[in-house]
Structure 1
Amino acid sequence: MIRLLIADDHPVVRDGLSAMFAAEPGFEVVGQAGDGAEAIQLAETLRPDVILMDLQMPGVNGLAAISGLTERGVTARVLVLTTYDTDGYVVPAIEAGATGYLLKDAPRDELVRAVRAAADGTSVLAPSVANTLMNHVRTPPTPDIVSPRELEVIELVAAGNTNREIAAHLFISEATVKTHLLNIYAKLGVPDRASAVAEAFRRGLLGAAG
């Protein structure tokens, strides 16, 4: 019996996955988490064999949760299930300790097979994700990783501005600020604002800007 924990911030997704696996022989859904912090807590308590982990969740996101699980010595295999297949998401997730990486449009049978494989310690990657990893290995990183607008946003974050203040300063909506931040996190391979600022300084993006 494969003990499964599902981590996703959308209740309808969690419920749908729970119902799907409950109907499959050999699976027991032992818990659901709505964010990364809850996923870590439940993983330590429930000791699942496999965790289906979304990446974009409020608070502690999936990437930070994978790192946290690794740091705590949790032995559950983490299978990322997300809509993002760019190298800014794929590479950090694999580096953090994810066993596999699938997209949410994966067919039911493929997802079931992937969870079984993950439980056995076998890495499973969606075809587009495998291509992304290959391209990442073959292509040297570009120094101009963030756009000029994204650089403006990260500069304002570094100066201590809130999303609302950034929106007012740049004459854009808060939703657009959040979108820019998500893009920045993905491009820099970081989970949050503080890490983004630190990484931007490390890469010389903020230093170069003055």
Structure 2
Amino acid sequence: MNKLRIFLADDHPIFRSGLRSHLAAQPDMEVVGEASDGAAAVQAVLDLRPDVAVVDVSMPVVSGAKFTEQVRRDCPAVKVLALSAHENQGYVQQMLAAGAAGYVVKRAVAEELVRAIRVVAAGKTYLDPDVAGPLLASRSRALAGGPAAAAELSDREAEVLKQIARGHAVKQIAADLDLGVRTIETYKARGMEKLGLKTRAEVVRYALHRGWLTGG
């Protein structure tokens, strides 16, 4: 069985050691590297190309959001899963906008992290229940009676926005759908304009509201 290759980025060595031990005990996972600051983590991920990079939001040197932006730009196949003590919506939206495929709070049980890793590795989005609820509530209020609720997306626009919400890069979506990058950019722009969305975080919230993101 091919194991999921996991990279850990957290500046607390004891916490990181506990994560490493728990993940190493999973039959379908192996920890291939770790780092205690964001800059070292970026370089290590570029070298190792893991399947999933689990990163603390509050990393020294390079923040979790900046780490995510760089990894998603230079290694789009690597899924980034945010792990944080923060449940504040600002942190969640920042990480989603940067391209994270999931967000788990540190006080969650260890099995929640394991599930989240499997979900994002499968190309889906995972949001901890404690942060997903407020996101859904805020988006539902924004959608109620507004133009986004009545907007009609084409099948292609909907498919592209679903993939964007799942953290897929435009080049990856173009390859998956056998279309040009500029064509995907056009579908993305048109869909977001119809829905009145401006950021990836807003796309993710809309996708959650519509039930597009399954598995988490």
Shorter-chain TM-score category? 0.5 to 0.7
Corresponding residue for residue 102 of structure 1: 104
Question: What residue number does 2:199 align with?
Answer: none
1:54 partnered with 2:65: no
Matched, 1:133 2:135: yes
The question of whether the paired residues in 2 share the 8 Å contact of 1:35 and 1:62 is answered with: no
Question: Matched residues in 1 for 2:137 and 2:11: separation?
Answer: 30
Secondary structure of the residue aligned to 1:28 is strand
TM normalised by structure 1 equals 0.63
Asked if 1:5 is matched to 2:7, the reply is yes
Aligned alpha-carbon RMSD (Å): 1.5
SS of 2:126's partner is: coil
Letter in 2 for 1:105: R
- In 2: Cα distance, 1:74 partner to 1:45 partner: 14
* Cα distance per residue 1:162-193 (max 9 Å; x no partner): xxxxxxxxxxxxxxxxxxxxxxxxxxxxxxxx
Q: How many residues align?
A: 140
2:118 to 112, 116, 119: 116
Give 1:60's aligned amino acid.
V
Q: Does the 8 Å CA contact 2:72/2:78 hold for their aligned counterparts?
A: no
Say if 2:46 and 2:75, in contact at 8 Å, map to a contact too. no
Superposed displacement of residue 136, structure 1: 4.1
Match of 2:74 among 67, 72, 75: 72
Shift of 1:102: 0.5
SS in 2 for 1:6: strand
Task: Tell me the alpha carbon deviations over residues 136-172 of structure 1, each in whole angstroms, 9 at most, x when there is no partner.
Answer: 43567xxxxxxxxxxxxxxxxxxxxxxxxxxxxxxxx
Larger Rg: 1
Distance, in Å, in 1 between the alignment partners of 2:138 and 2:92 is: 10
Q: Deviations over 1:13-47 (max 9, x none)?
A: 11110011111111110001111111111111001
Query: How far has the Cα of 1:134 moved from its partner?
Result: 2.3
When normalised by structure 2's length, the TM-score is 0.61
From 15, 18, 43, the equivalent of 1:16 is 18
Q: Residues 136 and 68 from structure 1, CA distance in 2 versus in 1: closer, same or farther, beyond 3 angstroms?
A: farther
Q: Which consecutive unaligned segments of at least 5 residues does structure 2 have?
A: 143-216
